[in-house]
C-alpha cells in the first residue's frame, strides 16, 4: 500500500552535490550547492566576499588594492597583534596601525567539509578553509619590529546557516607576548540612514570621536548619523544585530571575544582615504568588528588563544 507521507528516497552516497573549492589569482573560492559562496584573498587572509541567498553581505571599496601593496579596504581584514596605532611604549610599538596580519601573505592550508564549528549545519552542508601565518612568513620589517615566535591559523567556515571565522593564536616561542586581535568586518548595507544596531545597550565604550573618553550606551539602539569610531568593551550579550528598516539583516555572534568596534568614516574621512571609493560608499557600509582590543591578551610559551565570530544573514 502506498503511504501518503512516505519518506523520500535517500540519494546514494556520492550522488548528492557537494561544496566546491578552487583557487584563482591569489584567492580561495568556496561554494555550497545552494550557491552561497565565500572568497578569501591570501594577502591578509582577507575575506573579500560572502554571498548568501544570492546577496553579497560584505562591502569592498571599488579602489581597494588586492595586489598586496596595502591592506584591503573592505571585506574582513585581520587585525593582529595590535589594534589602531600601537602605543610607542609597548612591545608592538614599532608595528604599523592594526599590525602585520592584514599585510602578510598567508598560506592556504586546505579545506575540509567534516566540521562546521558551532554552525548548525555540517558535513557536506559546510566547507572549512584554513589559512596559516607564522613568524617565518612575515616580512623582515615585521620580524624586527615584533620578534616573537607565533603561529596563526584562521579558519573560515561557510555553511548554509552562516559564515564562521575563527582565529587561533599560539605562542611557539620561549617568551610570553601580548597581543590584540580584531576581525575588521565591513558589512554591506543598503542605506546607512535606515540602519540600526542592537545588542550593545548598557555597554561602556571608548569614543574615539570624543578624545577616547569612556561613555555608556544608554540607548539600546545605535544609529549612525555621522562619523562613528567606538570601541565597546566587555559586552555581555553575545550577539550584535544589524537591522535595516527595523528588520534583522545581519547578526554577528562573538565567539570567545567580548569587545566590538563600530566604525563608519562618514563624508570627510571617506574623502581622505585614497582607497575608499565611491566616496559616498560610507552610505553602503557599516563596520562591526569583533575582537579583544581592550588592554592586552598575554600568551605564555605554548599557550593558545582562540576567538572569532559567526555571521548570519537575514532577508
Ligand X SMILES: O=P(O)(O)OC[C@H]1O[C@@H](O)[C@H](O)[C@@H](O)[C@@H]1O
String of contacts with ligand X for each residue 261-280, x by CB under 6 A: x-x-----------------
Q: Can you tell me the distance from the alpha carbon of 284 to that of 280, in angstroms, rounded to the nearest whole number? A: 8
Residue list 44-83, contact with ligand X (CB under 6 A): 71
**Under the criterion CB under 6 A, does residue 259 sit at the interface with ligand X?**
no
**Under the criterion CB under 6 A, does residue 100 sit at the interface with ligand X?**
no
Q: Which three cell numbers stand for residue 10?
A: 535517500
String of contacts with ligand X for each residue 211-240, x by CB under 6 A: ------------------x-----------
Phi, then psi, of 137 in degrees rounded to 5: -95, -5
**Under the criterion CB under 6 A, does residue 289 sit at the interface with ligand X?**
yes
- Long-range CB contact pairs, 226-229, < 8 A, 24+: 226/266, 227/264, 227/265, 227/266, 227/267, 227/268, 227/269, 228/262, 228/263, 228/264, 228/266, 229/261, 229/262, 229/263
Closest contact distance (angstroms) between CB of 190 and ligand X is 22
Active site includes 184?
Answer: yes
Instruction: Return the residue of 18, 160, 208, 314 that touches ligand X, per CB under 6 A.
Output: 208
Name the binding residues for substrate.
73, 97, 102
Is the Cβ of residue 154 or residue 171 nearer to ligand X in the bound state? 154
Catalytic residue among 24, 98, 135, 184: 184
**Under the criterion CB under 6 A, does residue 184 sit at the interface with ligand X?**
yes
Is the Cβ of residue 120 or residue 209 nearer to ligand X in the bound state? 209
Is the Cβ of residue 129 or residue 290 nearer to ligand X in the bound state? 290
CB 255 within 8 A of CB 292: no
Closest contact distance (angstroms) between CB of 84 and ligand X is 6
Name the binding residues.
73, 97, 102
- Count of residues touching ligand X (by CB under 6 A): 10
Closest contact distance (angstroms) between CB of 76 and ligand X is 12
Phi, then psi, of 193 in degrees rounded to 5: -70, -15
**Under the criterion CB under 6 A, does residue 97 sit at the interface with ligand X?**
yes
Closest contact distance (angstroms) between CB of 149 and ligand X is 26
Is the Cβ of residue 35 or residue 93 nearer to ligand X in the bound state? 93
Closest contact distance (angstroms) between CB of 85 and ligand X is 9
Active-site residue list: 184, 289
Residues of the shown chain interacting with ligand X in the complex, contacts defined by CB under 6 A: 71, 84, 97-98, 184, 208, 229, 261, 263, 289
Amino acid at each position: 500500500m502506498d503511504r501518503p507521507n512516505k519518506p523520500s528516497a535517500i540519494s546514494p552516497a556520492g550522488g548528492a552535490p557537494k561544496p566546491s573549492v578552487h583557487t584563482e589569482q591569489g584567492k580561495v573560492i568556496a561554494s555550497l550547492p545552494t550557491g552561497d559562496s565565500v572568497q578569501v584573498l591570501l594577502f591578509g587572509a582577507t575575506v573579500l566576499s560572502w554571498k548568501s541567498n544570492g546577496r553579497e553581505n560584505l562591502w569592498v571599496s571599488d579602489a581597494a588594492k588586492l595586489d598586496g601593496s596595502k591592506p584591503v579596504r573592505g571585506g574582513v581584514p585581520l587585525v593582529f597583534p595590535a589594534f589602531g596605532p600601537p602605543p610607542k611604549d609597548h612591545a608592538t610599538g614599532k608595528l604599523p596601525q592594526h599590525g602585520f596580519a592584514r599585510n602578510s601573505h598567508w598560506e592556504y592550508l586546505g579545506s575540509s567539509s567534516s566540521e562546521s564549528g558551532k554552525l548548525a549545519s555540517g558535513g557536506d552542508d559546510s566547507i572549512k578553509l584554513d589559512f596559516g601565518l607564522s613568524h617565518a612568513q612575515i616580512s623582515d620589517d615585521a620580524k624586527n619590529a615584533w620578534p616573537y615566535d607565533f603561529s596563526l591559523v584562521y579558519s573560515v567556515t561557510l555553511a548554509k546557516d552562516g559564515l564562521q571565522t575563527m582565529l587561533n593564536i599560539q605562542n611557539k616561542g620561549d617568551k610570553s607576548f601580548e597581543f590584540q586581535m580584531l576581525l575588521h568586518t565591513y558589512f554591506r548595507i543598503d542605506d546607512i540612514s535606515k540602519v540600526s544596531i542592537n545588542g550593545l545597550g548598557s555597554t561602556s565604550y571608548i569614543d574615539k570621536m570624543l578624545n577616547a573618553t569612556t561613555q555608556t550606551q544608554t540607548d539600546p539602539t545605535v544609529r549612525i548619523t555621522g562619523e562613528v569610531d567606538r570601541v565597546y568593551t566587555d559586552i555581555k550579550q553575545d550577539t550584535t544585530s544589524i537591522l535595516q528598516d527595523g528588520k534583522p539583516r545581519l547578526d554577528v555572534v562573538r565567539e570567545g571575544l567580548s569587545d566590538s568596534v563600530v566604525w563608519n568614516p562618514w563624508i570627510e574621512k571617506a574623502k581622505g582615504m585614497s582607497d575608499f571609493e565611491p566616496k559616498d560608499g560610507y552610505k553602503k557600509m557599516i563596520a562591526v568588528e569583533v575582537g579583544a582590543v581592550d588592554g592586552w591578551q598575554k600568551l605564555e610559551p605554548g599557550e593558545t588563544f582562540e576567538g572569532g565570530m559567526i555571521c548570519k544573514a537575514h532577508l
